[in-house]
């Protein structure tokens, strides 16, 4: 005997508390998902008595009723015939935020900004991995070659493929931030491009003492540099810019809005970014450099523990390129770079956590993003794993990654791991350790232990509940 889907739909609406208690409805492969006004009005006992209902639960801001494959589609059709509206994308997002604290909402919003950026970062990770392997003196020496013998055309092509995303990363971040917070994405894009304009001193060049590039000083004491490689500063600029735009849209007369609003948004935010946000971060960079120099000389690998734990946090601030100055200084004075091993382990720990969540997750989005983000992290680009998985649902996976990397960094310092260069990490970073069989073996062992430890701990303790929902 077949189900009476019309009667089932009517019973569902009645047990929910009537049509007035239902904002909207949608369905997945097995469940009917309803956004309700007041969940206290739901008669869950009565719902369980309805024919075909196999279970109910409330999650992600939605009351979900399990009907099973095939049946849910027909129930959904009958429910919509009763005048219940389909759930929009914005309503679904709002429902998922329901019941979350401010930190959880901030983390989720931060993740929403970076998800569209992940494909570009993953591709860049692959290109950087190839660059690290192909354009490396240690690797080329196997074939009796040096980087000086590589054709210039090939080098330029590789540089374009591997460097473009990070050269314009602030522009991409600004664009996405404006989009998420309701501003005009094109204004965010233009603002971001202004922040990396070639007329400004390149942040990476400023961090390299041998480049001869120094900041521009406004009024003789306010340092101004580009935002190359910056993430959080670009996010802040985009967030403030979108808020400013929406405010101006409400206050500027309609007749002049088309001209005045974009002009003021770009002018005010450029000045604010370069004269306030940028100099503050420059001061942070100088203090951070001094702190890392002191940390590297602490006994018992404590410096590796400190730098390793905080490195992902430092990356979030956008001042991580300051490590180039320290690494180059170490290489110039000693010929070796102990910082590299610490930074490499960060990639292995974050990739281990990311892979565990991706493999255990039931949410399709995570199962798609996770493996590619893991691969990217293993090739030296950790942002997809960081923003797409570790920070997207709650902060526990991120904290675990920091802890594992801190321990790995301490071990790296204790056993004396040190590379012969900088700029490449994780799997491509192996090339910096092939100068010594002992260094190479220790690097591979520590990398494997770090990755496996992060994977196992993440699998057991920190897989977010949200990713376990289809």
Residue 403 annotated in active site: no
Question: HEC profile for the chain?
Answer: CCCCHHHHHHHHHHHHCCHHHEEEEEECCCEEEEEECCHHHCCHHHHHCCCCCCEEEEECCEEEEECCCCHHHHHHHHHHHCCCCECCHHHHHHHHHCCCCHHHHHHHHHHHHHHHHHHHHHHHHHHHHHHHHHCCHHHHHHHCCCHHHCCHHHHHHHHHHHHHHHHCHHHHHHHHHHHHCCCCHHHHHHHHHHHCCCCCCCHHHHCCHHHCCCCEEECCCEEECCCCCCCHHHHHHHHHHHHHHHHHHHHCCHHHHHHHHHHHHHHHHHHHHHHHHHHHHHHHHHHHHHHHHHHCCCHHHHHHHHHHHHHHHHHHHCCHHHHHHHHHHHHHHHCCEHHHHHHHHHHHHHHHHHHHHHHHCCCHHHHHHHHHHHHHHHCCCCHHHHHHHHCCCCCHHHHHHHHHHHHHHHHHHHCCCCECCCCCCHHHHHHHCCCCHHHHHHHHHHHHHHHHHHHHHHHHHHCCHHHHCC
Which residue is listed with tokens 């979350």?
100
What lies within 8 Å, CB to CB, of 159 at 6+ separation is 131
* Residue 187 in tokens: 């204004």
- Residue 187 CA to residue 325 CA, distance in Å, equals 33
Q: Is-contact 367 351, C-beta < 8 A? A: no
Cα torsion through 100, 105, 107, 109, rounded to 10: 140
The single residue of 28, 174, 346, 354 carrying the catalytic annotation is 28
- 155: its two tokens: 């080098």
Task: Give the Cα-Cα-Cα angle 78, 82, 88 (nearest 5 degrees).
Answer: 85
Rg from Cα positions in the chain: 26
- Annotated catalytic residues are 28
């Amino acid at each position: 005997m077949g189900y009476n889907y019309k009667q089932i739909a009517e019973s569902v609406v009645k047990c929910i508390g009537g049509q007035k208690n239902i904002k909207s409805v949608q369905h997945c492969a097995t469940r009917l998902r309803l956004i309700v006004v007041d969940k206290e009005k739901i008669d869950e006992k009565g719902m369980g008595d309805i024919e075909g209902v196999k279970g109910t639960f409330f999650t992600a801001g939605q009351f979900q009723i399990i009907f099973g494959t095939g049946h849910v589609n027909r129930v959904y059709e009958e429910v919509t015939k009763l005048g219940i509206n389909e759930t929009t994308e914005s309503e679904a997002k709002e429902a998922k935020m329901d019941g979350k604290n401010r930190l959880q909402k901030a983390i989720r919003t931060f993740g929403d900004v970076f998800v569209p950026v992940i494909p570009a970062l993953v591709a860049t990770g692959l290109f950087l991995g190839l660059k690290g392997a192909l354009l490396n003196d240690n690797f080329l020496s196997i074939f009796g070659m040096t980087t000086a013998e590589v054709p210039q055309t090939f080098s330029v092509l590789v540089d374009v493929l591997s460097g473009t995303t990070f050269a314009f990363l602030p522009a991409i971040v600004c664009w996405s931030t404006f989009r998420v917070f309701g501003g005009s994405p094109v204004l965010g894009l233009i603002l971001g491009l202004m922040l990396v304009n070639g007329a400004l001193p390149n942040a990476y060049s400023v961090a390299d003492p041998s480049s001869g590039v120094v900041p521009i000083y406004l009024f003789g004491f306010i340092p101004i540099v580009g935002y190359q490689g910056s993430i959080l500063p670009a996010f802040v600029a985009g967030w403030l810019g979108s808020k400013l735009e929406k405010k101006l849209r409400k206050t500027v007369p309609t007749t002049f809005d088309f001209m005045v609003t974009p002009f003021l948004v770009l002018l005010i935010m450029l000045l604010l970014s370069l004269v306030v946000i940028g100099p503050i971060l420059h001061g942070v960079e100088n203090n951070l450099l001094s702190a890392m120099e002191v940390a590297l000389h602490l006994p018992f690998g404590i410096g590796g523990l400190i730098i390793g734990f905080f490195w992902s946090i430092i990356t979030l601030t956008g001042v991580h390129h300051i490590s180039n100055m320290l690494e180059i200084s170490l290489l110039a004075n000693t010929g070796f770079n102990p910082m590299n091993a610490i930074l490499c382990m960060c990639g292995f720990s974050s990739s281990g956590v990311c892979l565990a969540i991706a493999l255990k997750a039931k949410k399709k989005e995570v199962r798609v993003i996770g493996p590619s983000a893991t691969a990217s992290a293993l090739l030296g680009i950790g942002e997809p794993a960081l923003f797409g998985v570790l920070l997207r649902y709650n902060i526990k996976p991120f904290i675990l990654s920091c802890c594992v990397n801190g321990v790995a960094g301490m071990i790296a310092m204790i056993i004396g791991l040190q590379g012969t260069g900088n700029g490449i990490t994780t799997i491509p970073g192996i090339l910096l350790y092939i100068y010594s069989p002992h260094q190479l073996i220790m690097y591979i062992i520590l990398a494997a232990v770090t990755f496996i430890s992060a994977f196992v701990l993440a699998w057991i303790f920190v897989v977010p509940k949200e990713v376990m929902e289809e």
